Amino acid sequence: MEMISIWIAAILTLGIFSFLYKDNPLYKACEALFVGVSAAYWAIVFYFDNIYKKFYEGAVTADEPDYFLWIGAILGLLFLTRLIPKIGWVSRWPMALIVGATAGLWMVGYFVSNAMNQIGSTISGIIVYDTATGFVAWGETFGSLVILVGVLSGLVYFFFSKEHKGVFGATAKVGTWFLMVTFGASFGYTVMSRMSLLIGRVDFLLGDWLGILR
């Protein structure tokens, strides 16, 4: 059984890789299989984790049922009215709940974590001391200054209410340099993560399937 399973996985892997040559029926079949399996996979995971465990065990079979959960289930069922065009507008209610709650949560949460905390980390502890010797650690201090200059100039670049001219424009230009380094680093990082996935698949084909790599 294990060998058949590995063969199936290998054929599917090669089927997806066949797209590198050109779009073909085997790739399209594998793609359709991926779409169907992944949609059902997450539907099952969410059914048992959220609907069964949260709602059914909390509101139906629990010793002390939480009747508030029924409102969530009814709102969830209203979501499915989207499939019936005549009453599809009812699905706006659960959508409104999700969007409203997310907006409320993110409005404060993102401001604290992504704005205030980041500003705090940027401006605090610019001069770094070596904990062992007690002297200034020049390398880390220089790095902190690089971060301070990069954040300030990057923010200036994102400020579009004032024309990028003079000192303001020069600062914005420095900001674009930092942003380009960030994009380059993110690009390189993404390439390497995809490469590690590719190495994983090649390792599977040559090791588990063909047995060339041991």
Partner 1 sequence: MRRQIPILITTIAGLVFAISYFIPHDPFGESESIFGDWITIVQAFAVWLGALNLLKISFEKISSKSADWPYAAIIVVSLMGTLAVGFYDGYSGMAQDPQISFRDPGTNFDWLYRFIYTPLSATMFSMLAFFVASASYRAFRARNVQATLLLIAGFFVMGGRVPLFDMMISPITDFPVFSWFADWIMTYPNTAGQRAIMIGIALGIMSSSLRIILGIERSHIGGGSG
Residues 123-142 that bind partner 1 (CB under 8 A): none
Q: Which of 147, 133, 130 is nearest to 181 (CA)?
A: 147
Nearer to partner 1 by Cβ, of 31 and 168: the residue is 31
Binding segment for partner 1 among 9-17, 124-132, 162-170 (CB under 8 A)?
9-17
Given 119, 126, 127, 213, the residue binding partner 1 (CB under 8 A): 119
What's the full length of the chain, in residues?
214
Q: Among residues 24, 60, 62, 66, which is the contact residue for partner 1, using CB under 8 A?
A: 66
**C-beta of 129 vs 148, nearer to partner 1:** 148
Dihedral angle sign, alpha carbons of residues 87, 89, 94, 98: positive
Place of tokens 């992944």: 38
Out of 129, 170, 189, 206, the only residue in the binding site for partner 1 (CB under 8 A) is: 189
Looking at residues 36 to 65 of the shown chain, list those that interact with partner 1 (rule: CB under 8 A): 36-52, 54-55, 58
List all residues 6 or more positions away from 209 whose beta carbon is below 8 Å from its beta carbon: 6, 7, 9, 10
Applying CB under 8 A, what is the total number of residues that bind partner 1? 117
With contacts defined by CB under 8 A, name the span among 125-133, 163-171, 191-199 that binds partner 1: 191-199
Tell which one of 60, 62, 101, 170 touches partner 1 (CB under 8 A): 101
Query: What is the C-alpha to C-alpha distance for residues 211 and 204, in angstroms, rounded to an integer?
Result: 9
Torsion sign, CA atoms 76, 79, 80, 84: positive
